[in-house]
C-alpha cells in the first residue's frame, strides 16, 4: 500500500503531537500515581516537583509534626500553655531518626528553592530538638534564597532572632536573670516576655513575643526592650518540670526602666505533696477529706478544686479550677460536706461545638462535686507574707498528670441528672418538671433557665420563678435569688 508524502507527514505530526502531549502530562501522571521518586529524577524542575518533595517529607514526618508539642511555657503571672497542638509521644531517639531521614532527602535533591519547604520543616525540628546551629544555618540558607512566599517571613524572622540571641551582644542588657529547677541552672530553656497589660495570648506563643535561650549557666539576657512592666514565661520540656512548680518571686513581673539592667530570676521548686484522696479514688458518702504533707516555710495552705471538661463524646477538652474555700488552713487536713459544696452556684459556663451544639458546664448545673463526676484537687502553700511558695497542681492535666484525680460515686442521680450529664438538656428539663416541687430539681431547672440551653441568653425571670418555689432554701439559694432580682431590675432600666 502506497502512502502519499502529505499523508505520511500528517501521521508523523500527529504522533509527535501525541508524544509531546504524553510527555507533558507524564509529571502529572507520576505525581497522582505516587511515583514521586521517578518524578523528581526525570522532571526535577516541573511544577509537580515541590508537592512531590513535600509528599515524601510528609511520609517521613507524619508521626512527628515539628516536635514542638513536648514543650510547655510557664508564666510568672500564673498558668501555662503548650508550645504546640500535637499529641506526639515519640522519644528523642525516634525524633533524631526522622531528622536523619529528612537530612538525607535534602542531601539527595539539593538545597534548592523546590526543597525550601522541606528545609524549613527540618530547621524547626532541629530547633525544638535543641540543635541550634543546624537550625540557624538552614533558616539562613532559606533566607538567602528568597522566594519563600509559602511561609511566613515574620515567623521565620522570629525563629532566627531567637537563635541569634544566643550570641553575645554589645551594650547593656535590658533584662537578665537565671532560670533554675531545684538547685540546678537550666541551660537551653526558652525565655519569653510579654507586656503585663497585654491581655491577648497566642498559642503556641514563642514566635509572637520577644524570646531568647538560656546559656550553659541558665542565664538569659534581653537587649533593646522598651521600658515597661513585663510578664516572664519559661519554656522547657514537660519532663524537666515533672514534680516542680514555679515559685512566686517578690515581684511577679519584670520592670524595665531603660537605664539599668532589670533582674528577674526564675525558680522552680518541689511541688506540695497531696496525699488523699489519691489518683482514681472513688468518694462514697457525703464527706470529702483532703490531706497533704507539710511544706517547708509554709505559714498556711489554700485549697482548689478542678472540674474536668469533656465534650459530648467524652473526650477531655479542658478544665476549670476554682477555690474550694476561702479559708486558710494551718494544718494538713480539711473536711468538707459534698452536699453543701454542691449547693453553691459558682461555675456556670457554655461552649459551642463545630455543628452548633451547646454544652453547659455540668458542675455549674449539678454542683461543684456532682455525683458521677471526676475532679482534681490541689493545695497551695503560702508564707507569712502571702507569697505562694508552691502548689501540688501540675502544669498539665492529661494522662501524665500528677494532680490527684478522683471520682464521686454516682449514687442518688435522678433521671434529670443523668440527662444533664449526657448533655440532653431538653429531655432533662422535662424529667425535672415531672419531679414537681423537689428542691434539687428546682435548683437545676433554675440554673438551666438562667444559662439557657441554646445559643441565646438565659431567662433570669424564669430562673427566679423556679428558685422562689424552693421550700427549704440554702444560704447560697438566697444569694442566687438576690442576684437574679438585681439582674431583672437592671434589665428593666435598660
What is the DSSP annotation of 268-301? EEEPP-EEES-TTPEE-SSEEEEEE---TT-SEE
Please state the φ and ψ torsions of residue 396, each to the nearest 5 degrees. Answer: -150, 130
Calpha distance 478→484 (Å, rounded): 10
Cell 509534626 belongs to: 65
Query: Once rounded to an integer, what is the mean pLDDT over residues 158-186?
Result: 92
Q: What one-character-per-residue DSSP string does 294-333 give?
A: --TT-SEEEEEEEEEEE-TT--EEEEEEEES-S--BSSSE
E strand or H helix at 256: strand 254-256
- Do residue 76 and residue 217 come from a single domain? yes
- Do residue 12 and residue 110 come from a single domain? no
- Do residue 43 and residue 105 come from a single domain? no
Query: Once rounded to an integer, what is the mean pLDDT over residues 308-319?
Result: 71
Please state the φ and ψ torsions of residue 259, each to the nearest 5 degrees. Answer: -115, -75
Query: Once rounded to an integer, what is the mean pLDDT over residues 140-160?
Result: 79
E strand or H helix at 213: strand 211-213
Is 106's pLDDT higher than 70?
A: yes
- Do residue 299 and residue 261 come from a single domain? no
393 Cβ neighbours under 8 A, 6+ residues apart? 245, 271, 304, 306, 321, 376, 378, 380, 403
Whether residue 53 contacts residue 115, with contact meaning beta carbons closer than 8 Å, is answered with yes
Grid cell at residue 194: 510579654
- Do residue 73 and residue 151 come from a single domain? yes
Least Cα distance to 164 among 113, 111, 222, 120 occurs for: 222
Query: Once rounded to an integer, what is the mean pLDDT over residues 236-250?
Result: 90
Is 456's pLDDT higher than 70?
A: yes
Model confidence at 5, pLDDT cuts 50, 70, 90, reads: low
Whether residue 333 contacts residue 321, with contact meaning beta carbons closer than 8 Å, is answered with no
Query: Once rounded to an integer, what is the mean pLDDT over residues 441-452?
Result: 92
Cell 497522582 belongs to: 32
Task: Supply the pLDDT for residue 141.
Answer: 87
Calpha distance 467→470 (Å, rounded): 6
Calpha distance 284→203 (Å, rounded): 39
Model confidence at 50, pLDDT cuts 50, 70, 90, reads: low
**Pairing of the two strands 190-195 and 184-185:** unpaired
pLDDT greater at residue 374 or residue 101: 374
- Do residue 455 and residue 311 come from a single domain? no
Model confidence at 30, pLDDT cuts 50, 70, 90, reads: low
- Do residue 397 and residue 430 come from a single domain? no
Q: What is the CATH number of the domain that holds 337?
A: 2.60.40
The parent domain of residue 379 ranges over: 274-408
Q: Quick: pLDDT tens for 378-423.
A: 999 999 999 999 999 877 654 445 567 899 998 888 999 999 988 8
Q: How many CB atoms lie within 10 A of CB 458?
A: 19
- Do residue 185 and residue 242 come from a single domain? yes
Calpha distance 268→104 (Å, rounded): 40
- Do residue 209 and residue 184 come from a single domain? yes
Domain count, the chain: 4
Whether residue 463 contacts residue 491, with contact meaning beta carbons closer than 8 Å, is answered with no
Q: Which of 355, 389, 408 is the last residue of a domain?
A: 408
3-state secondary structure of 235: strand
Query: Once rounded to an integer, what is the mean pLDDT over residues 306-324?
Result: 76
Task: Supply the pLDDT for residue 18.
Answer: 44
Task: Supply the pLDDT for residue 238.
Answer: 85
Least Cα distance to 124 among 88, 155, 168 occurs for: 155
Q: How many CB atoms lie within 10 A of CB 112?
A: 15
Is 208's pLDDT higher than 60?
A: yes
Q: How many CB atoms lie within 10 A of CB 77?
A: 12
Q: Is 170 exposed, middle or buried (0-12, 13-18, 19+ CB in 10 A)?
A: exposed
Task: Supply the pLDDT for residue 222.
Answer: 95
Calpha distance 397→306 (Å, rounded): 10
Model confidence at 88, pLDDT cuts 50, 70, 90, reads: low
According to the per-residue pLDDT averaged within each range, which of 37-41, 287-291, 406-410 is highest?
287-291
Task: Supply the pLDDT for residue 200.
Answer: 82
Query: Once rounded to an integer, what is the mean pLDDT over residues 89-100?
Result: 77
> Among 44-48, 68-72, 78-82, 120-124, which stretch is predicted with the lowest mean pLDDT?
44-48
Calpha distance 389→246 (Å, rounded): 8
Is 69's pLDDT higher than 90?
A: no
Is 149's pLDDT higher than 50?
A: yes
Is 362's pLDDT higher than 80?
A: yes
Is 117's pLDDT higher than 80?
A: no
Residue 404 CA from chain centroid, whole number? 20
| Percent share of the chain, pLDDT over 70 | 77
- Do residue 255 and residue 144 come from a single domain? yes
pLDDT greater at residue 352 or residue 222: 222
Mean pLDDT over all residues of the chain?
82
- Do residue 330 and residue 440 come from a single domain? no
Calpha distance 177→265 (Å, rounded): 5
Query: Once rounded to an integer, what is the mean pLDDT over residues 443-458?
Result: 88
Q: How many helices (DSSP H) and strands (DSSP E) are in the chain?
A: 14, 23
Model confidence at 66, pLDDT cuts 50, 70, 90, reads: low
Cis bond before residue 204 (omega within 30° of 0) = yes
Task: Supply the pLDDT for residue 401.
Answer: 52
Cis bond before residue 198 (omega within 30° of 0) = no
Model confidence at 97, pLDDT cuts 50, 70, 90, reads: confident
Q: Which of 408, 427, 462 is the last residue of a domain?
A: 408
Is 185's pLDDT higher than 70?
A: yes
Is 180's pLDDT higher than 70?
A: yes
Model confidence at 250, pLDDT cuts 50, 70, 90, reads: confident
Q: Quick: pLDDT tens for 466-491.
A: 999 999 998 888 999 999 999 898 88
Task: Supply the pLDDT for residue 202.
Answer: 80
Ramachandran assignment for 74, one of left (phi > 0), alpha (psi -120 to 50 degrees), beta (any other): beta
Q: Which of 385, 408, 431 is the last residue of a domain?
A: 408
Is 352's pLDDT higher than 90?
A: no
- Do residue 368 and residue 420 come from a single domain? no
Amino acid at each position: 500500500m502506497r502512502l502519499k508524502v502529505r499523508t505520511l507527514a500528517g501521521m508523523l505530526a500527529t504522533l509527535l503531537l501525541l508524544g509531546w502531549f504524553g510527555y507533558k502530562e507524564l509529571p502529572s501522571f507520576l505525581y497522582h500515581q505516587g511515583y514521586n521518586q521517578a518524578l523528581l529524577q526525570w522532571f526535577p524542575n516541573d511544577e509537580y516537583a515541590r508537592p512531590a518533595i513535600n509528599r515524601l517529607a510528609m511520609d517521613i514526618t507524619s508521626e512527628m509534626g515539628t516536635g514542638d508539642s513536648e514543650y510547655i511555657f510557664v508564666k510568672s503571672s500564673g498558668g501555662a500553655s503548650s508550645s504546640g497542638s500535637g499529641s506526639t509521644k515519640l522519644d528523642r531517639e525516634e525524633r533524631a531518626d526522622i531528622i536523619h531521614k529528612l537530612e538525607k532527602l535534602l542531601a539527595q535533591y539539593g538545597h534548592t528553592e523546590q526543597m525550601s519547604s522541606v528545609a524549613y520543616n527540618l530547621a524547626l525540628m532541629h530547633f525544638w530538638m535543641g540543635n541550634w546551629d543546624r537550625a540557624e544555618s538552614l533558616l539562613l540558607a532559606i533566607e538567602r534564597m528568597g522566594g519563600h512566599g509559602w511561609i511566613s517571613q515574620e515567623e521565620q524572622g522570629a525563629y532566627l532572632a531567637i537563635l541569634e540571641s544566643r550570641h553575645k551582644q554589645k551594650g547593656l542588657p535590658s533584662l537578665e536573670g537565671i532560670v533554675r529547677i531545684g538547685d540546678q541552672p537550666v541551660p537551653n530553656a526558652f525565655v519569653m516576655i510579654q507586656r503585663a497589660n497585654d491581655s491577648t495570648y497566642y498559642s503556641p506563643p514563642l514566635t509572637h513575643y520577644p524570646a531568647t535561650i538560656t546559656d550553659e549557666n541558665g542565664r538569659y539576657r534581653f537587649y533593646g526592650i522598651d521600658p515597661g512592666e513585663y510578664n516572664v514565661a519559661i519554656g522547657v520540656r514537660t519532663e524537666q518540670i515533672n514534680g516542680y512548680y514555679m515559685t512566686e518571686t517578690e515581684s511577679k513581673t519584670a520592670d524595665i526602666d531603660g537605664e539599668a539592667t532589670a533582674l528577674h530570676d526564675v525558680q522552680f521548686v518541689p511541688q506540695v505533696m497531696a496525699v488523699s484522696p489519691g489518683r482514681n479514688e472513688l468518694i462514697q458518702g457525703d464527706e470529702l477529706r483532703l490531706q497533704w504533707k507539710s511544706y517547708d516555710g509554709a505559714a498556711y495552705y489554700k485549697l482548689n478544686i478542678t472540674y474536668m471538661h469533656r465534650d459530648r463524646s467524652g473526650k477531655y477538652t479542658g478544665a476549670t479550677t476554682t477555690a474550694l474555700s476561702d479559708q486558710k488552713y494551718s494544718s494538713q487536713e480539711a473536711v468538707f460536706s459534698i452536699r453543701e459544696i454542691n449547693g453553691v452556684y459558682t461555675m456556670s459556663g457554655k461552649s459551642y461545638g463545630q455543628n452548633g451544639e451547646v454544652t453547659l458546664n455540668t458542675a455549674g448545673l449539678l454542683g461543684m462535686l456532682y455525683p458521677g463526676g471526676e475532679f482534681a484537687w490541689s493545695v497551695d502553700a503560702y508564707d507569712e507574707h502571702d507569697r505562694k511558695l508552691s502548689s501540688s497542681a501540675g502544669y498539665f492535666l492529661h494522662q501524665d498528670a500528677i494532680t490527684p484525680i478522683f471520682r464521686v460515686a454516682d449514687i442518688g442521680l435522678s433521671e434529670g441528672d443523668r440527662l444533664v450529664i449526657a448533655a440532653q438538656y431538653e429531655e432533662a428539663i422535662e424529667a425535672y418538671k415531672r419531679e414537681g416541687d423537689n428542691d434539687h430539681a428546682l435548683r437545676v431547672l433554675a440554673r438551666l433557665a438562667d444559662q439557657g440551653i441554646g445559643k441565646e441568653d438565659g431567662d433570669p425571670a424564669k430562673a427566679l420563678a423556679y428558685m422562689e418555689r424552693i421550700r427549704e432554701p440554702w444560704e447560697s439559694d438566697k444569694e442566687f435569688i438576690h442576684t437574679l432580682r438585681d439582674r431583672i431590675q437592671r434589665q428593666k432600666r435598660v
